[in-house]
Amino acid sequence: MPLEIRQLPPMRLAYMRQTGPYGPSLTQLWDRFGRWCEAHGLSEPRPKFYGISLDNPACTPPAQCRYDACVQVGVGLRTGTEALVQDFPGGDYACFQFVGTGPEIGAAWARMTAPGQIPAGWEVAARPAVEVYDEHFAVNPATGAFPCWLCLAVQRVA
């Protein structure tokens, strides 16, 4: 699994948060967030979407894991009470292009953190992991598979 170093830019993001186990319930979060984006004119032209895992499920009890479904927005967007806005700082990430189903994504994240996967000269940084869903994102109706970039925050080894 070759990981490539990419720099994610600083962004202003509208988001909806779910607290609880990562897994099937995130589909419901994304469905609700997608409807909110459509209602606020944020779906056309089709944007990139970002999933931010704020907690490592290996270290955080499942009931306390936080996940944000996000889309980049400009200054001045009024979100109402359903969504909030955050400033994402960006930075260096070790990324892998995932294609699979929801139940397979957890194992892909685990493989990324296995010894020897992070490129030489880099180490995992204490920032949230990010899923990047490109503008052409689609779920295969026959298999349930979808593509996204899985991105672990990294920093140069001192």
Which whole number is the average pLDDT over 6-24?
92
Whole-number pLDDT of residue 133: 95
Q: CA 154 to CA 124: how far, in whole Å? A: 4
What is the CB neighbour count within 10 angstroms for residue 132? 19
* Percent residues over pLDDT 70 in the chain: 99
Q: What is the pLDDT of residue 58?
A: 82
User: Which CATH number covers residue 148?
Assistant: 3.20.80.10
Per-residue pLDDT tens digits for 52-62: 999 988 889 99
**Calpha distance 134→152 (Å, rounded):** 17
Q: Which domain holds residue 24?
A: 4-156
Alpha carbons within 13 angstroms on the beta-carbon side of residue 125 total: 20
- Residue identified by tokens 């306390």 is 64
Alpha-helical (H) ranges within the chain are 25-39, 102-112
Average pLDDT over residues 12-30: 90
pLDDT tens digits, 80-131: 788 999 999 999 999 999 999 988 988 898 899 888 899 999 999 999 999 9
- Grade residue 65 by pLDDT with cuts at 50, 70 and 90: very high
Count: domains in the chain: 1
Write down the pLDDT at residue 116. Answer: 87
Predicted pLDDT of residue 22:
86
